[in-house]
Amino acid sequence: MPALSKSAAFAALLPPWPHDVLPANAVAASASGQTLVVLDDDPTGTQTVRAIAVVTTWDVATLTAELAAAPACFYVLTNSRSLTAEASHALHLELATRLRSASRATGRPFVIASRSDSTLRGYYPLETDTLSSVLGPFDATLLTPYFEAGGRYTLNDTHYVAEGDRLVPAADTPFARDAAFGYRHSHLPSWVEEKTAGRTRADDVATLSIDLLRSAGPQAVAEKLRALPRGSVCIVNAAAPRDIEVFAAATLAAEATGSRFLYRTAAGFIAARIGQSPQHALLPPAAYSTPTSHGGLTLVGSYVPKTSAQLAALLATSAVTPIELDVAALLDDTRRPPTLAAALAQTNAALAAGRDTVVYTSRQLITSSDAAASLAIGRRVSEALVLLIRNLTIAPRYLIAKGGITSSDTATLGLGVRRALVLGQALPGVPVWQLGPESKFPGLGYVVFPGNVGSDTALAELIARLHRS
């Protein structure tokens, strides 16, 4: 499919719905008496919300405690994108069963959003199928990959990734060549047919158009949602925050009259559903850096092209002490221990001397043609970063983790985080967590920097701001 001019494509659209629906969304979400439980396949999905809890375990006691507090929303970090398909299936089966038990124990109903990547990577339809088998049946599964801060737009049922003023069909980007989650179609009904191996035909996928969202508003969209065939799949088009906010308002209205939906969404829908504005002021650096003479630490494990460009821009500034981890050595059982020991010693010394430090994996991507083997390589590399954090003796002034799997494993396995509070965003689409008292560094501000968000200089600019704070 051809790339589009973003400015020309957007100029041809109707103007957005003129009414701000976010205040009403917040009221409706509260009045529903339900909690939106977001099952996040990596920690970057918290990138649009603030003052929301995220838990990294899903025992019944933890889920019961969260539901008993009757929040509008909370996140469960599953990190399922790093798992095999079989492990993700088992995880979601267990999680759905335990959520149902916690709901019965508290009397608090919940709505499920399966949050995944805005560039269409992840275990779809495996995860939604598994959730449906326990918590269904649902009237429809609603697919919403739109994410403004990442430049992900859906126009005419086709998903695009913005590159400057170009809208590139998602299947023509490096994301579609992911070893584990690759795909061939940008046209989302065709993508659904591809991912379901023909079980759901493209012609049977319903859609909500931008024209409907912008000209008719929430009630008309709610009527269309109510009329969807039972068990159908529906694609949501969106090209601006107001589009997704109107859609969220429509889901609340439809649910208020008895509809039940399962959501497979990117991050933008979550804030819209609970009535939080994505334009909320960014956090000042002082909110997530500690008053210490130690240096700050950045971990870079993601291999998407955006991350590599951001790392190159950071290293070009000479603002950080660079420590490279040779991935080939990390995958070699003989070379791995001395490589890690040397990196740990260098990192502790740099932080103690007050030097901002970046530890990064070498940029030559080592993969396999087999999806499971590629995931195993990724886990092996991530385990090395976990060991480094687990054995770190100098508390950094700030901590940034670049990439979804890197940030998840660093939080749960390296820092021992069981519950954190999402404070807000350091940059658009870049969430900051405040770590809980059980963690290795209690109260530390932890910056979860997605691999594919921000300009090429965004990481360097953020570290410069933190250095000056």
Q: What residue has token string 């991350």?
A: 307
Q: Are residues 87 and 214 in the same domain?
A: yes
Note whether 385 and 410 are within 8 A (CB).
Answer: yes
Query: Would 279 be classed as within a structural domain?
Result: no
Q: Are residues 248 and 290 in the same domain?
A: no
Residue-level pLDDT at 304? 75
pLDDT tens-digit readout, 21-38: 999 999 999 999 999 999
Q: Are residues 220 and 257 in the same domain?
A: yes
Query: Would 375 be classed as within a structural domain?
Result: yes
Query: Would 295 be classed as within a structural domain?
Result: yes
Query: Helix H segments across 181-324?
Result: 188-195, 210-215, 218-226, 241-256, 268-274, 305-316
CATH number at residue 304: 3.40.980.20
Give the CB-side neighbour count of residue 223, counting CA atoms within 13 A.
Answer: 6
Query: Would 280 be classed as within a structural domain?
Result: no
Residue-level pLDDT at 369? 62
- Give DSSP secondary structure letters for 34-72: -EEEEEESSGGGGTT-SSEEEES---HHHHHHHHHT--S
Residue-level pLDDT at 207? 98
| 435 Cβ contact partners less than 8 Å away, ≥ 6 residues apart | 411, 415, 417, 420, 441, 442, 443, 444, 445, 446
Q: Are residues 15 and 70 in the same domain?
A: yes
What's the Cα-to-Cα distance from 128 to each of 60, 153, 235, 286, rounded to whole Å?
Answer: 21, 22, 15, 40
Residue-level pLDDT at 375? 67
Pick from 325, 324, 350, 459: nearest CA to 403: 459
Look up residue 207 and give its two tokens: 């859609």
Domain that holds residue 366: 285-468
- Residue finishing a domain among 212, 240, 274: 274
CATH number at residue 169: 3.40.50.10840
Residue-level pLDDT at 332? 84
Residue-level pLDDT at 72? 97
Give the CB-side neighbour count of residue 65, counting CA atoms within 13 A.
Answer: 11
How many domains does the chain fold into?
A: 2
DSSP letter at 410 equals I
Whether the predicted model's global pTM rises above the 0.85 cut:
yes
Residue-level pLDDT at 109? 97
Q: Are residues 228 and 341 in the same domain?
A: no
Query: Would 251 be classed as within a structural domain?
Result: yes
Q: Are residues 289 and 269 in the same domain?
A: no
Q: What residue has token string 């979860």?
A: 448
Q: Are residues 69 and 136 in the same domain?
A: yes
Residue-level pLDDT at 277? 87
| 247 Cβ contact partners less than 8 Å away, ≥ 6 residues apart | 144, 208, 213, 221, 236, 238, 269, 272
The C-alpha atoms of residue 367 and residue 283 are separated, in whole angstroms, by 37
For residue 10, give the H/E element and its range: helix 6-11
Ranges in the chain, pLDDT < 50: none
- Residue finishing a domain among 223, 252, 274: 274
Q: Are residues 322 and 247 in the same domain?
A: no
The C-alpha atoms of residue 2 and residue 415 are separated, in whole angstroms, by 45
Q: Are residues 209 and 319 in the same domain?
A: no
Look up residue 410 and give its two tokens: 């660093």
Q: Are residues 268 and 366 in the same domain?
A: no
DSSP letter at 366 equals -
Residue-level pLDDT at 364? 73
Q: Are residues 190 and 42 in the same domain?
A: yes
Amino acid identity of residue 197, one-letter, is A
Note whether 280 and 50 are within 8 A (CB).
Answer: yes
- Residue finishing a domain among 221, 246, 274: 274
Residue-level pLDDT at 129? 98
